[in-house]
């Protein structure tokens, strides 16, 4: 029997004695009190797990899906019997941006976890268009599916000292590590913290600074969580925090105005694909993580002031603080790859902290610091910073151009114990700019400290050139009687410019004649006109030699007499 009550509301029907009948119908058509949609409730005698309803388990009568009408009379919402998604508004959420919807989120969370405990596969939650304000963490189960109408219209806001959203295996054991074969999916949502409604201002101090507990999503000890098309803004801590996880996917997500967009700790096999990080203090922070991949992502103006940032009084302090797009920390940070990404208007793009080694930056586009390069208080844009013992990291096949199609400063910061980092440049012009822009840093960090063997290695395959230990060589020996260019120790030629022999004169790069022959056989060198420290390429010895003193004594690069 089907009984239509002229569309009485769900709350009116289940909270009163209406209608006063001796026998309740099998199916009742009602008007949902919150969504105003027409719904059917079906009289049931068993719970979803098949247990007889006479067990009268109060935790299963949630007041939305299962409802009690009279003694031993229970109804279930028809959609749940068809395994459809649960709408947060069925549980009383308003989504008006004013009402506290925490109770509705707690109720829907309790329901799906209770069903999961009973091996019932009901875990798909739908967040319709609206702005939902909550004041407690919203928990969803592993292998669940949380989705909205769109990333800019289905919005969940929380200004709390805990995660807004957390994925769990069990609410009773928050620290359980679980390996599952299924996938948890969260997509098409906006998640907002305290500053969700503020446009980011990169040099505007946040009132209370960095608050690590204020996090958008916490994924701890969980596997295979896919985050797709999320808009995450205004968190004073982390937009997303991965803690001891692997097999994670982050795709087409947008992070802005957060202290740190994403932090990953002790994690591996995280894929960042086609994401955007704009005007955070830091884009991504890898801490003791290995074998992760960031590809096709955009990083721009990640210099918001949640943490210490540059100031007029201390313009270089960003070398030791937060402002960066990607930060690698910890000796375990190895084999992470950054590829096909775009970097613009950061004061420093990538930081390799102490003891970080074996990471790759390949095929990326670095456009420079944009207008910040012209500000006197922020003079030193850095492509990357290599701190102490940051070693054997690789920059390969990257592009360095400004919006005017010019080569921007290719400036790095090398700490003295940062050693053997490798740069493979696409163009000879990149190599020339690299040597020119880092000459002072090479001098201060390496040469003055007697650490020339720690210097980076730079290659330009297109020009067959190699820069190592502050000298220029050919990558492969010339099989020619008179090579067009022979490179000598750059530091011994003024201003770091490299000379070349044109067959008649030794020229600087600007074409000026140095005046003293610096190329030829052993007998052609000029002992009287030459000065101490001068370099001369001896074609008989096939190597550069150097004037040792004001006598006729010459030595090779290792100080051995020749």
What is the C-alpha radius of gyration for the chain, rounded to an integer number of angstroms? 33
35 and 71 in a single domain? The answer is yes
Q: Helices (DSSP H) in 311-464: which residue ranges?
A: 428-437, 439-442
Rounded to whole angstroms, what are the CA distances from 170 to 1, 65, 145, 461? 40, 21, 16, 55
- 3-state DSSP percent of the chain in helix, strand and coil, to 5: 15, 35, 50
210 and 285 in a single domain? The answer is yes
Q: What is the pLDDT of residues 8-57, one digit of tens each?
A: 888 888 877 766 666 788 888 888 888 888 888 888 888 777 778 766 66
73 and 96 in a single domain? The answer is no
CA–CA gap between residue 483 and residue 499 (Å, rounded): 13
Find out whether 67 and 46 touch, Cβ atoms under 8 Å: no
Give the range of the structural domain holding residue 514, as residue numbers without chain letter: 490-555
Please enumerate in sequence order all residues whose Cβ is within 8 A of that of 376, keeping only pairs 6 or more positions apart, or say none: none
Looking at residue 497, its pLDDT comes to 41
Of 260, 291, 307, the one marking the end of a domain is 307
49 and 130 in a single domain? The answer is no
Find out whether 96 and 131 touch, Cβ atoms under 8 Å: yes
CA–CA gap between residue 142 and residue 273 (Å, rounded): 22
Find out whether 145 and 124 touch, Cβ atoms under 8 Å: yes
Strands 500-501 and 360-362, by their bridges, are unpaired
Rounded to whole angstroms, what are the CA distances from 237 to 256, 483, 493? 12, 58, 50
**Residue 46, in any domain of the structure:** yes
Please enumerate in sequence order all residues whose Cβ is within 8 A of that of 54, keeping only pairs 6 or more positions apart, or say none: 45, 72
57 and 198 in a single domain? The answer is no
CA–CA gap between residue 398 and residue 382 (Å, rounded): 15
CA–CA gap between residue 214 and residue 210 (Å, rounded): 9
The CATH number of the domain where 142 resides is what? 2.160.20.10
Q: Cis before residue 19, ω within 30 degrees of 0?
A: yes
CA–CA gap between residue 12 and residue 175 (Å, rounded): 42
Looking at residue 140, its pLDDT comes to 92
Q: Tell me the average confidence (pLDDT) per consecutive run of 10 residues in the chain, 562 residues long.
A: 62 74 79 85 81 69 80 82 84 95 95 82 88 97 90 93 92 70 90 90 61 94 94 95 95 94 97 96 94 97 64 45 82 97 88 95 86 52 90 96 83 93 94 92 92 93 85 62 43 41 50 55 68 72 76 76 82
What distance, in Å, lies between the first and last C-alpha atoms of the chain?
109
Of 81, 110, 136, the one marking the end of a domain is 81
At 282 the three-state DSSP class reads strand
Query: Over the chain, what is the mean pLDDT?
Result: 82
Read off the pTM: 0.78
CA–CA gap between residue 285 and residue 283 (Å, rounded): 7
At 496 the three-state DSSP class reads helix
Rounded to whole angstroms, what are the CA distances from 410 to 139, 238, 283? 46, 30, 21
Find out whether 232 and 216 touch, Cβ atoms under 8 Å: yes
Which single residue is written with the structure tokens 């001891």? 244
**Residue 476, in any domain of the structure:** no
Q: Which residues pair with 233 in a beta bridge?
A: 192, 256
Strands 543-547 and 535-538, by their bridges, are antiparallel
Half-sphere exposure of 555 (CA within 13 A, CB side): 10
110 and 238 in a single domain? The answer is yes
Of 28, 56, 81, the one marking the end of a domain is 81
Looking at residue 30, its pLDDT comes to 86
Looking at residue 488, its pLDDT comes to 44
138 and 194 in a single domain? The answer is yes
**Residue 156, in any domain of the structure:** yes
Looking at residue 542, its pLDDT comes to 78
255 and 123 in a single domain? The answer is yes
**Residue 31, in any domain of the structure:** yes
Find out whether 304 and 257 touch, Cβ atoms under 8 Å: yes
Q: Phi first, then psi: give them for residue 435, nearest 5 degrees.
A: -65, -45
223 and 153 in a single domain? The answer is yes
Token pair recorded at residue 286? 């890898």
Q: What is the pLDDT of residues 209-255, one digit of tens each?
A: 788 899 999 999 988 999 999 999 999 999 999 999 999 999 999 99
Looking at residue 358, its pLDDT comes to 96
CA–CA gap between residue 114 and residue 137 (Å, rounded): 17
Please enumerate in sequence order all residues whose Cβ is within 8 A of that of 477, keeping only pairs 6 or more positions apart, or say none: 542
**Residue 252, in any domain of the structure:** yes
44 and 150 in a single domain? The answer is no
CA–CA gap between residue 180 and residue 227 (Å, rounded): 17
Find out whether 167 and 222 touch, Cβ atoms under 8 Å: yes
Q: Phi first, then psi: give them for residue 147, nearest 5 degrees.
A: -150, 155
Looking at residue 380, its pLDDT comes to 64
DSSP of 33-76, one letter per residue? TTT--EEEEEEESB-TTS-BGGG--GGG--SSSEEEEETTEEEE
Rounded to whole angstroms, what are the CA distances from 358 to 86, 258, 300, 330, 559? 46, 29, 25, 12, 33
**Residue 410, in any domain of the structure:** no
- What 64-70 contacts at long range (C-beta under 8 Å, 24+ apart), as own/partner pairs, is 64/90, 64/91, 64/92, 64/107, 64/108, 64/111, 65/90, 65/111, 67/10, 67/14, 67/41, 68/14, 69/13, 69/14, 69/24, 70/24
145 and 219 in a single domain? The answer is yes
DSSP secondary structure code for residue 444 in this structure: I
Q: Which residues pair with 416 in a beta bridge?
A: none
**Residue 358, in any domain of the structure:** no
76 and 95 in a single domain? The answer is no
**Residue 421, in any domain of the structure:** no
Question: How many domains, in total, are found in the chain?
Answer: 3
């Amino acid at each position: 029997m089907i009984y239509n009550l002229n569309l009485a509301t769900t709350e009116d029907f289940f909270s009163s004695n209406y209608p006063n009948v001796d026998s309740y119908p099998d199916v009742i058509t009602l008007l949902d009190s919150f969504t105003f949609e027409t719904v059917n409730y079906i009289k049931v005698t068993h719970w979803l797990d098949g247990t007889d309803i006479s067990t009268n388990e109060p935790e299963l009568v949630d007041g939305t899906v299962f409802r009690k009408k009279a003694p031993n009379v229970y109804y279930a919402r028809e959609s749940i019997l068809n395994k459809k998604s649960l709408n947060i508004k069925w549980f009383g959420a308003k989504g008006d941006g004013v009402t506290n919807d925490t109770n509705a989120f707690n109720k829907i969370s309790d329901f799906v976890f209770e069903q999961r405990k009973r091996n019932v596969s009901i875990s798909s939650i739908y967040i319709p268009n609206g702005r939902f304000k909550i004041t407690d963490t919203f928990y969803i189960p592993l292998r669940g599916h949380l989705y909205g109408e769109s990333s800019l219209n289905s919005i969940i806001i929380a200004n709390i000292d805990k995660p807004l959203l957390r994925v769990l295996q069990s609410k009773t054991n928050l620290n359980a590590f679980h390996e599952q074969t299924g996938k948890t999916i969260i997509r098409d949502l906006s998640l907002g913290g305290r500053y969700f409604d503020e446009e980011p201002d990169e040099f505007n101090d946040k009132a209370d600074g960095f608050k690590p507990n204020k996090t958008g999503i916490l994924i701890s000890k969980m596997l295979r969580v896919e985050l797709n098309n999320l808009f995450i803004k205004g968190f004073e801590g982390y937009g997303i925090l991965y803690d001891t996880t692997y097999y994670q996917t982050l795709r087409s997500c947008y992070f802005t105005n957060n202290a740190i967009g994403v932090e990953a700790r002790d994690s591996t096999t995280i894929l960042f694909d086609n994401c955007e990080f704009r005007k955070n203090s830091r884009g991504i922070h890898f801490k003791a993580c290995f074998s992760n991949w960031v590809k096709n992502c955009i990083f721009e103006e990640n210099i918001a002031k949640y943490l210490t940032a540059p100031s007029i009084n201390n313009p270089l302090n960003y070398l030791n603080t937060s402002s960066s797009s990607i930060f690698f920390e910890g000796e375990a940070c190895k084999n992470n790859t950054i590829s096909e990404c775009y970097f613009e208007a950061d004061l420093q793009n990538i930081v390799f902290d102490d003891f970080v080694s074996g990471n790759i930056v390949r095929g990326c586009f670095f456009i420079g610091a944009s207008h910040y390069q012209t500000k006197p208080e922020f003079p030193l844009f850095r492509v990357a910073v290599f701190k102490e013992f940051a070693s054997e990291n690789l920059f390969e096949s990257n592009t360095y151009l400004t919006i005017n199609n010019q080569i921007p400063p290719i400036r790095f910061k090398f700490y003295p114990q940062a050693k053997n980092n490798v740069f493979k440049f696409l163009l000879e012009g990149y190599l020339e700019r690299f040597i020119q822009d880092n000459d002072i840093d090479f001098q201060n960090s390496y040469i003055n400290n007697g650490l020339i063997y720690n210097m980076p290695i730079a290659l330009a395959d297109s020009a067959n050139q190699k820069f190592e230990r502050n000298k220029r060589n050919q990558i492969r020996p010339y099989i020619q009687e008179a090579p067009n260019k022979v490179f000598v120790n750059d530091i011994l030629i003024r201003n770091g410019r490299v000379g070349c022999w044109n067959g008649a004169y030794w020229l600087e790069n600007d074409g000026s004649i140095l005046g003293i022959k610096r190329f030829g056989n052993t007998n052609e060198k000029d002992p009287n006109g030459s000065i101490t420290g001068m370099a001369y390429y001896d074609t008989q010895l096939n190597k550069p030699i150097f004037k040792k003193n004001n006598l006729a004594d010459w030595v090779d690069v290792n100080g051995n007499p020749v």
